[in-house]
Chain A
Amino acid sequence: MKLIDFILNNSDQCLFLTWEHIRIVAFAVFLATIIAVPLGILITRNEGIAKKVLNAANILMTIPSIALFGLMLPVLALIGHGLGKVPAVIALVLYSQLPIIRNTYVGIKNVPPELVEAGKGVGMSSLTRLKEVEIPLAVPVIIAGLRTAAVMNIGITAIAAYIGAGGLGVFIQQGIARAYDEMVMAGAILVALLAIFVDAGMALIERILTPRGIKIGRKQGR
């Protein structure tokens, strides 16, 4: 197995690129979350704005990543970051907006109206209600959005190697340039494995953060 030989002989570089890949994705998802979750919550208070924001996020999503890198290059070049990790992270943050905003919005909107009514009725302020009722109930859906974003970002980061962002895409890009099949395969397989692990990890987090009362209900099939 030449592929396994390649990975074993280059284990240092494999680890380094994988770690670099993870760092880019993690940082991007973190940034995306602190922007998109509050935004998703905010737009639940105004239907008109919600439509516009979700549409904008939808349009962002349809731009191919290579094209987005190209579009950002002249702008970011002005501050000396036309290539490298900065445009990569910005692109990832932009792409993550749709799944996270949409899931946050839907999660909060789907809180049953009688619970909102009860929350108001017992004298919770809008903020308290958000903290104690709406967000806890929306958590599973919000995390599902983060999960989609994270897995998607792992794929896009592989492409970002072409603008010098680093990560496992480097194997693919260089392997293709050198017609070195094992190198391309190693990059592709490691990216796939990473995606599978992250997906499973996020599923676990989702389970942990789901309120207990909801989990019991699910078990009972209610």
Chain B
Amino acid sequence: MIQYDRVSKIFGTGSDAVTAVDEVVLDIEQGHLVTLLGPSGCGKTTLLRLTNRLIAMSSGTIKINGQDIMFLDPVKLRQTMGYAIQEIGLFPNKSIYENIAVVPRLLGWEKGRIRERVDELLRMLRLEPKTFRDRYPVELSGGQQQRIGVARCLAADPEILLMDEPFGAIDPINREEIQDEFLGLHERLKKTILFVTHDIHEAIKMGDRIAIFQDGRLIQYDSPGQILTRPANRYIEDFVGTDRALKLLGLLRAEEAMDGSPVNIVEGSTSTGEALRFLEDKDYLNLIVIHQGKPMGYLYSKLLKDKNTEVKNVADPYPVLIRCNDTLRDVMSQMLLHNVHLLPVVDENGDLAGSINYQDIRKYIQGIYADNAERE
């Protein structure tokens, strides 16, 4: 838990004074990953540097687990926090191994344990230990260097991580992978993480919560969903973009919007005649055919007319199945790709959990925005 109470930092004096951080009040919950978002110069880096006392506050207090950091030894304090600086800053005179090993060595870990840890981190960041261990920073690309910077920050397994645009120099393909890997790691280890970014997509994807800054002030501190549906002011509206409803789709899961108890279902062993009557009686557009609880295809009247067999023999297979935790963005994309308006949703066993169509999605999103409008 990190608590910022009216923290300010003013650089310079008199007419040259710049208020880089302005009366920030912010609580970072234990185990949360909080993304600090805002344009260049809004004070994100300064807030991190205040947290590990690389610079001194002008006013306010920062507490870590209830302890005022001003009463802690700065060198010890920094050893308990991983710090990945924006400029990467690998030591050029040290090999990759030595760079990552710095903090464990300062903490007096045994050689064997350090060695294992370094290899583990290299593998996690998609760098083959054998190839990279003994290289020097100049022999690596910018993106590779940045990954070493992240490894160095994680090395001693600190409870708190301060990461300043840690994936900024990594190419888009590797970045997605490393973001996913990092999220998985966070899921398992539940570190308290301050993650600076100026990329709204990254902030939404990574953050349990997002803190948005403008000119040193904290403007909004909320969950990604809240930021997208209830931007606090015009500035944030502009920042999250006019496509914020689409971004919201990327956050929501199929199971939230789906119809959990669809009624247009028939067993595979049903006869075509019976199915056709069911379809026409209820005026359904199509039917989902299930076999042993699993969706196996769909039916519409043309498929059923003038047939005399079990429906499983005539059903069209679904081009794709939606899983419960697929994002609505992926669902929409699949619907557009395959030109279907209804898809079955399956759970992790492949059993039918519900169905989803455009209407479900539209209604769900509308509901979210309406909820918020009501509360205002």
Contact = CB atoms under 8 A, between A and B. Distances in A.
A129 to B, nearest CB: 10
B102 A137 contact: no
A216 B138 contact: yes
A120 interface: yes
B136 interface: yes
A181 interface: no
Contacts of A212: 93, 95, 136
Interface string B59-78: 00000000000000001111
B83 interface: yes
A213 interface: yes
Interface of B: 52, 54, 75-79, 83, 85, 87-95, 102-103, 106, 136-139, 152-153
Contacts, number: 78
A216 B139 contact: yes
Given A120-B54, A121-B78, A123-B78, A220 B92 contact: no
A121 B83 contact: yes
A69 B94 CA distance: 46
Nearest to A139: B93
Nearest to A116: B89
Given A137-B93, A217-B138, 9 more contacts: A117-B85, A121-B85, A122-B79, A122-B102, A123-B78, A125-B75, A211-B93, A212-B93, A213-B92
A115 interface: yes
Contacts of B54: 117, 120-121
The 4 closest A-B pairs by CB, nearest first: A118-B89, A213-B136, A123-B79, A211-B93
A133 B152 CA distance: 15
Interface string A108-146: 000010110111111111001000110011000000000
Given A120-B54, A122-B152, A123-B76, A133 B138 contact: no
A124 B83 contact: no
A30 B85 CA distance: 39
A119 B85 CA distance: 10
Contact of B106 (A117, A124, A211, A217): A124
A20 to B, nearest CB: 39
Contacts of B94: 132, 213
B92 A137 contact: yes
A128 B78 CA distance: 14
B261 to A, nearest CB: 54
Nearest to B93: A211
Nearest to A113: B87
Q: Which of A213, A216, A220 has the most CB of B within 10 A?
A: A213
7 contacts: A122-B78, A122-B83, A122-B153, A123-B77, A124-B75, A125-B75, A136-B93
Contacts of B106: 122-124, 128
Contacts of B88: 114
Q: Which of A112, A120, A214 has the largest count of B CB atoms less than 10 A from its CB? A: A120
B72 to A, nearest CB: 12
Given A121-B54, A123-B75, A125-B75, A213 B85 contact: no
B87 A132 contact: no
Contacts of B89: 112, 114-115, 117-118, 121
Given A114-B85, A213-B138, A120 B93 contact: no
Nearest to A120: B54
B325 to A, nearest CB: 37
A136 to B, nearest CB: 4
Contacts of A213: 91-95, 136-138
